[in-house]
Structure 1
Amino acid sequence: MGAGVPKAFVPLAGRPLLGHALRGALSCPDLHQVVVVAPAEWVGPAQEACRLAAAEHASGGPEPAVVTGGAERGDSVAAGLAALDASVDVVLVHDAARCLTPPEVFARVVAAVEAGAVAVVPGTPVVDTVKQVDASGRVVATPDRSSLRAVQTPQGFRREVLARAHAVSSEATDDAGLVERLGEPVLVVEGHRLALKVTTPDDLETATRLLASSS
């Protein structure tokens, strides 16, 4: 982003991306606990974002806790898992960068795990033609895009399965990839256009427009 601060703390309409992401998280049905993982030097701002989000949540619910993350993404997810109460069985892993993910996506993921899936990800159909290339940039395959999905978050898991996946390795671009390596099935449910990942300044502009049009 080139913003000089961690992405989760980049402002969007007057509040950090983390604050917007917490709105969706706090909407989860039967919510028991929320754990925010932040860099050590940003724990204070993360706690303030959590306090404000909890105060604004009309139906109450738990105030999110903040723990210090690790060097890599997987290390941070593992730190969040370690902070969960023993009674928590269904775990959602969400990116602050997908700060506008609407409550209905959270609800779909939770419902699918509770219905028996051990791992669930929201996704949207891929509209572009995708080429697989080799190290020299030469095309080696053109996957059928009808079978492709662009995966979003939150991703939902049975806790035992996610913990087992992280015990083997935490190196992957998403937690569903870790579960796939175990040979466990991963279910895709319908995602949403609002669940875009804010990665660049252009994405931030898009999110600003989407937030204005959806409010």
Structure 2
Amino acid sequence: MSDRSSSGPAVALVVAAGSGVRFGADRPKALVELAGRPLVAHAVAALAAGGVVRAVVTVPAGREESFAEALRDAPVPVDLVVGGAERQDSVRLGLARLADARGPILVHDAARPLVPPAVVAAVIDAVRAGADAVVPAVPVADSIRRIAGRTSAVVDRASLRAVQTPQGFAPQALRAGHQHVLDAGLVVTDDAAACEAAGHPVSLVEGSADSLKITTPADLIMAEAILVARG
């Protein structure tokens, strides 16, 4: 746990610098529309509804105008920063724009547009309570097997969790984590792993099935169904 609470306003860093090639889109995936709005606009609105007061969005080079238009009606102030070659590079560049942040910093994937505000609020509250790093997580539903040569074995999934975003951090822990992986030449899959590599413990809060990650066009159909169910 952090030795002091993060009492300043909660801010967010939204990672949206992907090209969209794997999704099969003709634009960055974060600009693909869900119910008439770009994914990144949904993501920023959800973060704001959960308590975030400012957002920095990392974007692909040359797409700044498109993202500015997509976020023109965002409910909180938004700064755009050109991202880097890898996700952790983009986060590090975004953190530089948040050098003055003293409250919880949330890092969120634009590809998770429907995170419930209650999950966002739970992450913020956990950081304010003293956690260095907080991850929303859900139980693993599928059966899991571990490959061992030509055979495999069932893995007990009772203690396994699938992680989501937004992940929340005490500012000093997030900055130290990314500086550590940069100095050590490490590649990490998410920001909690960067903090963990630097010796900071990672806490969990309950995530949501609504926080699905848009990876394929089929995921977009599922997200549309969630919006319909929400009414």
Q: Which has the higher strand share?
A: 2
Fraction of identical pairs, as percent = 47
| Helix, strand or coil at the partner of 1:34 | strand
Among candidates 19, 22, 30, match of residue 44 of structure 2: 22
Is 1:76 matched up with 2:90? yes
CA contact (8 A) 1:105 1:192 kept: yes
Take 2:62 and 2:159, find their aligned partners in 1: how far apart are those partners?
A: 42
Residue of structure 1 in register with 2:165 after alignment: 153
Take 1:87 and 1:200, find their aligned partners in 2: how far apart are those partners?
A: 34
Residue of structure 2 in register with 1:97 after alignment: 111
Shift of 1:50: 1.9
Take 1:23 and 1:86, find their aligned partners in 2: how far apart are those partners?
A: 22
Is 1:168 matched up with 2:180? yes
Q: For 1:126-171, what per-residue CA distance to the aligned partner results, in whole angstroms no more than 9, with x for missing partners?
A: 111112225x5642x5332110111110000011111111112252
Shift of 1:209: 0.8
Among candidates 97, 100, 111, match of residue 86 of structure 1: 100
| Helix, strand or coil at the partner of 2:81 | strand
| Helix, strand or coil at the partner of 2:168 | strand
Number of residue pairs the alignment of both structures matches? 205
Take 2:28 and 2:167, find their aligned partners in 1: how far apart are those partners?
A: 22
Give the residue type in structure 2 aligned to 1:22.
V
Q: Which has the higher helix share?
A: 1
Take 2:54 and 2:151, find their aligned partners in 1: how far apart are those partners?
A: 48
Shift of 1:42: 1.4
Take 2:40 and 2:125, find their aligned partners in 1: how far apart are those partners?
A: 24
Take 2:65 and 2:124, find their aligned partners in 1: how far apart are those partners?
A: 30
Among candidates 3, 7, 10, match of residue 32 of structure 2: 10
Take 1:84 and 1:108, find their aligned partners in 2: how far apart are those partners?
A: 21
Give 4+ residue runs of structure 1 displaced > 2 Å after superposition.
136-139
If the length of structure 2 is used for normalisation, what is the TM-score? Answer: 0.84
What residue ranges of structure 1 are gaps of 5+ in the alignment?
Answer: 55-61
Deviates more, 1:104-113 or 1:161-170: 161-170
Q: For 1:20-77, what per-residue CA distance to the aligned partner results, in whole angstroms no more than 9, with x for missing partners?
A: 1111111232x342101101111111112222223xxxxxxx4111111101100111
What residue ranges of structure 2 are gaps of 5+ in the alignment?
Answer: 1-22
Equivalent positions of 1:1-215 (< 5 A) are 1-29=23-51, 31-54=52-75, 62-134=76-148, 138-139=151-152, 141-169=153-181, 171-215=187-231
Shift of 1:85: 4.3
User: Structure 1's 167 and 137: CA in aligned 2 closer, same or farther, altered over 3 A?
Assistant: farther
If the length of structure 1 is used for normalisation, what is the TM-score? Answer: 0.90
Q: For 1:156-196, what per-residue CA distance to the aligned partner results, in whole angstroms no more than 9, with x for missing partners?
A: 00111111111122521111111121222101100011100
User: Structure 1's 32 and 53: CA in aligned 2 closer, same or farther, altered over 3 A?
Assistant: closer
